[in-house]
A and B are shown apart, each in its own frame.
Chain A
Amino acid sequence: MTGFFMSRAFPASATLLAVVALLVFDLQTSKSLNPYTAPAAIMLGSDEAASGAFCALVPPGK
């Protein structure tokens, strides 16, 4: 059996740990989550405006 550090288990575990660290950092530095101010479960059919936080959208320049 291939050892942990010589197998894909090592980089896969490192990726998951990095994701967990990212989320811990994020929760420490961002606005608190609040389920009571959450938007509707599904955007389709809601009256919300699209967020605009998407790859293709470019904001107007200064």
Chain B
Amino acid sequence: MTDISTSLGAPAKGSRLFARAGLIGLPLVVILALMASAGVRYGLLLAIGVGFGLTLEGLRFGFAGPWRAMILRREPAGLIAQLLAIGLVAVVAFPLLSGDHPELIGAHAAVGWSMVGGAFVFGAAMQLLLGCGSGTLVNAGSGNPVSVVALPFFVVGAFAGSYHLLWWTDLGHLPLVVLEGSRGLVITLLGLLIVGLGALFLAPKQARFVPRRLLVAAVLLAALAIANFAVAGQPWGVVYGLGLWAAKGASALGADLTASSYWASPVHQERLVSSLLTDYTSLTNLGIILGAFIVAAWRSGLSTRLPSLPARAWLATVIAGFLLGYSSRLALGCNVGAFFSGISTGSLHGWVWFVAAFAGAWVGIRLRKPLGLEG
């Protein structure tokens, strides 16, 4: 039997060039084929998704890990890089949304009970898995077994959460608050600056710097998010696409999704009968998985030995995966759709999400050891 870990992980010099040519050629062929068979926009979004995956995995840019580093060791570098990326997107997104572009929408949602609770649970679950919305996709693509096990439950949870979403939002919410125009942009940038300076203030002196790798990643991520916004007309998101995957499966198995006010709406009914290859968030999600796989295979990372975890850790992974999906729908987005895209397009719910999820992360970090997830 061919040892794939050998061929992908540490190929002989002669075959390495061939393997790497394949890793470059594979996404190019898939993107061009999609452009030809479905339309240029869909190929572009898949390409943007691959770019997200390459950036996140290649430059080790994440959300869950930096929050853990901030909470446990007061290392602010990763968090500051996230804030920088959000600020860069905001500088472009605010003028576009204030201009005469009715085809563009921001990640705007109202702050409500279920939104806050969902963000708190998501923060805890993402620390249990050490993977957020985008991080779980990246980790699954690069062969992290915890994320591979969690991902299907994340998908099912996102579907279940969206199925019940209107029941939860009916529990009560504030009016929609959106920061707009130059004033809104200044307030947003000031808010990001204050959080960043606060993180630096709390950090020990030796940790008060941001590595160049993370600065480059923040700029690339911002550029890709802006491209996503321009091409799709909506900000970068993750969990809608995941919920749609399970919804299509349930529908194919005969489930009547019109019983859900959410899935019965015309927008989502149209998505259910259309291909995932024409759904914006599905395309970037698939691209993230592919991009992360390419980086991991390129680096020979796929030869890394799998960890040995106790049974309770796998059970916790399954439950946390489901909660990650369910809570992210209640929270009206994950670290990408609510935190990154919400703040960068002026939605107050992005800021509230950040506070609630950070509090949840503090709890999740403390649950890892009792659940056997610390190895």
Contacts and interface: CB of A to CB of B under 8 A. Distances in A.
B264 interface: yes
Contact of A7 (B37, B38, B306): B306
B279 A53 contact: yes
A55 B261 contact: no
A6 B6 CA distance: 12
A52 B262 CA distance: 12
Contacts of B275: 26-27, 30-33
Interface in A1-46: 1-4, 6-16, 18-19, 22-23, 25-27, 29-35, 38-46
B280 A53 contact: yes
A61 B274 CA distance: 23
A11 B143 contact: yes
A25 B253 CA distance: 12
A55 B338 contact: yes
Given A4-B3, A56-B333, A43 B103 contact: yes
B239 interface: yes
Nearest to B137: A15
Contacts of B306: 6-8, 10-11
A25 B275 CA distance: 10
Interface residues of A, number: 54
B143 A56 contact: no
Contact of A41 (B3, B44, B244, B281): B44
Interface in B25-43: 35-42
Contacts of A61: 166, 170, 261
Contacts of B233: 43-44, 46, 48, 50-51
Nearest to B277: A33
Contacts of B142: 8, 12
B232 A43 contact: yes
Contact of B41 (A6, A8, A12, A42): A42
Contacts of A44: 96, 101, 103-104, 229-231, 233
A12 B141 contact: yes
A38 B37 CA distance: 9
A15 B286 contact: no
B276 A1 contact: no
Nearest to B112: A58
Given A8-B304, A13-B143, 19 more contacts: A3-B3, A3-B5, A4-B1, A6-B305, A6-B306, A8-B143, A9-B4, A9-B8, A12-B140, A12-B143, A23-B286, A26-B275, A30-B273, A33-B275, A38-B40, A44-B101, A56-B338, A58-B262, A61-B170
Interface of A: 1-4, 6-16, 18-19, 22-23, 25-27, 29-35, 38-62
